[in-house]
Chains A and B, each alone.
Chain A
């Protein structure tokens, strides 16, 4: 973990740069932004609940590139961690000096802020919207840009921007961020969207200019439009996933491999190939939060959104579909068995299990007194933290360890690099319930035991 300090004048005086980017928040988006700005040679002060920040950094241990840079910039004091003060006034004063200070005293403060970047979800529990908006409106530096990021109900960020007096207010949605590749996906964003309070003012945001140039696609518009676009992109991705999952149920009864269908669909340029994989659905933080906020917006505005409802319903139900296949295989007589589960994170490559199908699966299996052997290289610590006390859970270090004791295998999120040892599997010939559709067709064909995927079977 990098060194921690609060901003004090000594530190400030010794610093080579005279401009600082102030980041407020402890989310992965805030941490990534700090590292990216540091790598673009900016001095960064990141304000957060330091315990939460440390937890978050630890939680994202699987982001190896990001971790290494975070440590480096911390040691070099290019990223300085500061405790988030209870009120926004205090934070602003530490850069602008206190009201009533003499002009000389104010001049003694050599640091000027190039931008304030607020990660709204992180600061919610410490500052109320009113508190920080009023504080920034009292600030003497009304030309310093403010950037906001986060997923809120439609229109909320626009409202915040309007209540700020200054003209240079922006919204950056993290639509580009990829789990496991946080740093590079932000440095060279696939899609950079910028919401502006003041039209055609993006040039005021000099610190972010390089990202804009690296971006594969870029668009700026008013904040309300960017908010709506962000939400629509996410909802579309979720809809594609649920639609494929719905089709997979029909494929089950048609002796068709939905995986092959997905690949064929991807060949049609009108459809494209992303987010067409049938499986146990989507999890994580971003997509579910996004859909939840969208649903709230639809309720607040009394707009009925049956498609969105279905997307959510299918996704919830999909998470236990693999359990039902297991149940049907044994005609419901599943009590007291032992099963192996491979993977646990919400998607392969991530170490997080938020919204992963492993949670409902484990709860159901345990309710039938089924012993669960779980191998998940990336999510092991997360699972140990959630379920360390559960006597029916055993976390393993190797996928084939204790395989002899298991009567069935579930696959939730195997990393693509993982080479399955079909010969070993065939020794035991146990049924495989593949919620990720991780096995290739040749692998499935080579299996001795039964196989049930999502929309594909042996």
Chain B
């Protein structure tokens, strides 16, 4: 085991001279158009590549001096040591006093990692074997429901990381699905998703995965209870017992096996999580069962292998060529120094539909913090507000604000270069793909250069008059990074997601915040319990007048 106590005594980047330098540099008037005008080799200078990912960050508001200072910050905050500690299982999650070993979830068999005298690699592979065993039984029709029929539908009940990761990955990799079994995702506490779904599903052939690290999440358990009641109603017609229903229709995934057992999950159908896996970093674990059911275990292992290759790149590549480090530093530069408080993720690929919401949780829950590891309140901006949408759809929604609004917004454009390459029958799909890629490049160009982007092309024509029209003015200068995947595969998706996980860690390291806790979501849960109690009582609620009045209105309509 590594020295558990050594990890919260890193030096802070905030105290370094480079922080001051960057603050000074940020006061310059940055013009992307001018940066390009000054340097014809800018695109070659500000790009990087790892595995199947190509990253162009030349449309960011940076020059060599900014990049040099940002790279110096990594020394000031001892990023090398922080990365090493992360990968080796040191107690990087200081407030909860544990490691954050999502990278161990994708270590290949035979790798060595012992933490607290526990052979982590062997534990992980044991769990993967269980995922393989259960997913194979479901996929090959051996797994049967209470009436003896094979499973046709799997419903993943979970919220947050237990929902967004598997949802994003199964949707992205649907082309790799080689089963007729359909996977559904339910997360809403109010039951509306589940209610809609149950109307369409057959109780005899539906299996539920209950994913909750604590197995105490009320959102998830209330949905699980509704699913159980629904199953029991039908099972009664086949004289299927509750015992049989619990055993044949539920798989539990949690770090708390006692609570799974108490709920009624059969021990053989419990998959283990560990305290050292954060929910938003957990799709590589048993939480990915839904992915394995859909695309098969060998493709799921490809996803893990892709992530592992990014881990190795993160651990070994020079920081100036290191994709997660560069992406993280650029995000810090934009948010903390240039004070750009909004960031949008724009995949130009329908398969990555759920990537923006996945990254919203990954980044905002991780880095939405305002105290350092030692509890000191910080005096700089951390995580920006992050959102996103499939790029071509966003063009018809919020791009107006990006182009002509008053806010500065940084952007990540993501696209896959090859798609439909084996599609011989429908060349119009290939055409659509090329249209989409063109839009991706066009938008980043207009965002960067504004009116100048068109004027360059149409220098001889009369578009100047349009430029003079104020309402047709594109101010440009919105910084962006473009990430190109060679093609979308389980392996390249693994690389992409691991890239963002490590980006988050790099940002947290510069900001000296703990990206692995989420204390900010706790108080609301507690308060909800109190409000629920008050809702059941006749007496006037003891809260603020607003809450009391809202409660009174609700109770009046309930009556």
Contact = CB atoms under 8 A, between A and B. Distances in A.
Contact of A333 (B147, B149, B238, B244): B244
B369 interface: no
A8 B149 CA distance: 61
A328 B142 contact: no
Contacts of A323: 148
B42 interface: no
Contacts of A328: 147-148, 238-240
B142 A331 contact: no
Interface string B503-541: 000000000000000000000000000000000000000
Interface in A301-335: 320, 323-328, 331-333
Contact of B149 (A324, A331, A368): A324
Interface in B109-152: 137, 142, 144, 146-149
A125 interface: no
Nearest to B243: A331
Given A324-B147, A324-B149, A367-B137, A332 B142 contact: no
A324 B148 contact: yes
Contacts of A333: 244
Contact of B142 (A324, A325, A326, A364): A364
B14 interface: no
A interface secondary structure, majority: helix
B203 to A, nearest CB: 14
Contacts of A331: 146, 239-241, 243-244
B373 interface: no
Nearest to B248: A332
B72 interface: no
B156 to A, nearest CB: 23
A326 B144 CA distance: 12
Nearest to B137: A367
A327 B142 contact: no
A433 to B, nearest CB: 12
B147 A327 contact: yes
B146 to A, nearest CB: 6
Nearest to B237: A253
Contact of B146 (A332, A364, A368): A332
Given A364-B142, A367-B137, A332 B247 contact: yes
Given A364-B142, A367-B142, A327 B148 contact: yes
Nearest to A253: B237
A324 B137 CA distance: 17
A255 to B, nearest CB: 16
Contacts of A367: 137, 142
Residue among B137, B142, B148, B243 with max Cβ neighbours from chain A (10 Å): B148
Residue among B144, B240, B243, B248 with max Cβ neighbours from chain A (10 Å): B144
Interface string B237-265: 01111011001100000000000000000
A258 to B, nearest CB: 20
Nearest to A360: B141
A320 B148 CA distance: 9
Contacts of A332: 144, 146, 148, 240, 244, 247-248
A325 B149 CA distance: 10
Contacts of B248: 332
Contacts of B240: 328, 331-332
Interface in B195-239: 238-239
Contacts of A325: 148
A364 B143 CA distance: 9
A326 B147 CA distance: 10
Contacts of B137: 367
Contacts of A368: 142
Contacts of B238: 328
A364 B241 CA distance: 21
Interface string A57-80: 000000000000000000000000
A328 B149 CA distance: 10
B145 to A, nearest CB: 8
A95 to B, nearest CB: 46
A431 to B, nearest CB: 14
A327 B144 contact: yes
Contacts of B148: 320, 323-328, 332
Contacts of B146: 331-332
Nearest to B142: A367
A449 B196 CA distance: 44
A333 B144 CA distance: 11
Nearest to A363: B142
B232 to A, nearest CB: 13
A327 B204 CA distance: 13
B286 to A, nearest CB: 22
A323 B141 CA distance: 13
B151 to A, nearest CB: 13
A324 B238 CA distance: 11
A294 to B, nearest CB: 22
Contacts of A327: 144, 147-148
A368 B137 CA distance: 11
Contacts of B244: 331-333
Contacts of B243: 331
Contacts of A320: 148
A53 B243 CA distance: 55
A132 to B, nearest CB: 32
Nearest to A333: B244
A367 B134 CA distance: 12
Nearest to A364: B142
A368 B248 CA distance: 13
B241 to A, nearest CB: 5
Contacts of B142: 364, 367-368
Interface in A330-367: 331-333, 364, 367
Residue among A324, A326, A368 with max Cβ neighbours from chain B (10 Å): A324
A326 B248 CA distance: 16
A311 B240 CA distance: 29
A325 B137 CA distance: 20
A331 B244 CA distance: 6
A332 B247 CA distance: 9
B132 to A, nearest CB: 15
A93 B144 CA distance: 60
A331 B239 CA distance: 8
A426 to B, nearest CB: 25
Contacts of A324: 144, 147-149
A268 B244 CA distance: 45
Contacts of A364: 142
Nearest to B247: A332
A142 to B, nearest CB: 42
A435 to B, nearest CB: 14
A390 to B, nearest CB: 15
A368 B243 CA distance: 18
A39 to B, nearest CB: 47
8 contacts: A320-B148, A325-B148, A327-B144, A327-B147, A327-B148, A331-B146, A332-B144, A332-B146
Given A327-B148, A367-B137, 13 more contacts: A323-B148, A324-B144, A327-B144, A328-B148, A331-B146, A331-B239, A331-B240, A331-B241, A331-B243, A332-B146, A332-B244, A333-B244, A367-B142
Interface of A: 320, 323-328, 331-333, 364, 367-368
The 10 closest A-B pairs by CB, nearest first: A324-B148, A327-B148, A367-B142, A332-B244, A331-B244, A331-B241, A332-B248, A328-B148, A328-B238, A332-B146
